[in-house]
Amino acid sequence: EKTITMRLSYKHIMAVAMTAVSGAAMAQTLNSAYFTEDYQFRHTMNPAFANERNYVSIPALGNINVKMQGNFGYEDIIMPNPMYPAESAKRMTTFMNPYIPVSTALDGLSTGNNRIVGDVGLTLLSGGFSAWGGYNTVEINSKTSFGVSLPYELFEFAKNIGNNNYDIGDININAQSYVELALGHSRQINDKLRLGAKLKFLFGVARADLQMKNMKAELASEDKWIVSGEAQANVSMKGFTYKQEDADYKEEGRGQYQRINDVDIDGAGLGGFGMAVDLGGVYKINDDWTVSASLLDLGFISWSNDMQAVNISDRFEFSGFRDVAVTRDRGGEKLGDKSDRYADQLKEFANLRDNGDGGGRTTGIGMTINLAGEYTLPVYRQIKFGALSSTRIRGAYTWTEGRLSANYTPLKWIDGGVSFSVNSFTTSMGWVINIHPKGYNFFIGMDHLLGKMSKEAIPLSSNANVALGMSVSW
Which residues make beta-bridge pairs with 157?
Answer: none
Average pLDDT on 196-214 reads 96
Check: CB of residue 82 under 8 Å from CB of residue 99.
yes
pLDDT at 64 exceeding the cut of 60: yes
pLDDT recorded at residue 331: 46
Report pLDDT digits (tens) over 269-281. Answer: 899 999 999 999 9
Average pLDDT on 417-425 reads 96
What predicted TM-score, i.e. pTM, was given to this entire model? 0.85
pLDDT at 201 exceeding the cut of 80: yes
Q: Which residues have C-beta within 8 Å of that of residue 77, sequence separation ≥ 6? A: 14, 17, 18, 21, 22, 94, 95
User: What percentage of the chain reaches a pLDDT higher than 70?
Assistant: 86
Rounded Cα distance between 284 and 191, Å, is 8
Q: How confident is the model at residue 25 (pLDDT cuts 50, 70, 90)?
A: very low
Q: How confident is the model at residue 344 (pLDDT cuts 50, 70, 90)?
A: low
pLDDT at 66 exceeding the cut of 50: yes
Q: How confident is the model at residue 219 (pLDDT cuts 50, 70, 90)?
A: confident
**Average pLDDT over all residues of the chain:** 86
pLDDT recorded at residue 371: 98
Q: Which residues have C-beta within 8 Å of that of residue 37, sequence separation ≥ 6? A: 409, 415
pLDDT recorded at residue 224: 76
Q: How confident is the model at residue 164 (pLDDT cuts 50, 70, 90)?
A: confident
Report pLDDT digits (tens) over 296-333. Answer: 999 999 999 999 999 877 887 766 544 444 444 444 44
Rounded Cα distance between 447 and 445, Å, is 7
pLDDT recorded at residue 20: 42
Rounded Cα distance between 421 and 32, Å, is 9
**Mapped to the 3 state alphabet, what secondary structure does the chain carry?**
CHHHCCCCCCHHHHHHHHHHHHCCCCCCCCHHHCCCCCCCCHHHCCCCCCCCCCEEECCCCCCEEEEEEECCCHHHHEEECCCCCCCCCCCEEECCCCCCCHHHHHCCCCCCEEEEEEEEEEEEEEEEEEECCEEEEEEEEEEEEEEEEEEHHHHHHHHCCCCCCEEEEEEEEEEEEEEEEEEEEEEECCCCEEEEEEEEEEEEEEEEEEEEEEEEEEEEECCEEEEEEEEEEEEEECCEEEEEEEEECCCCCCCEEEEEEEEEECCCCCCEEEEEEEEEEEEECCCCEEEEEEEEEEEEEEECCCEEEEECCCEEEECCCCCEECCHHHCCEEHHHHHHHHHHHHHHHHCEEEEEECCCEEEECCEEEEEEEEEECCCCCCEEEEEEEEEEECHHHCEEEEEEEEEEEEECCEEEEEEEEEECCCEEEEEEEEECCCCCEEEEEECCCCCCECCCCCECCCCEEEEEEEEEEC
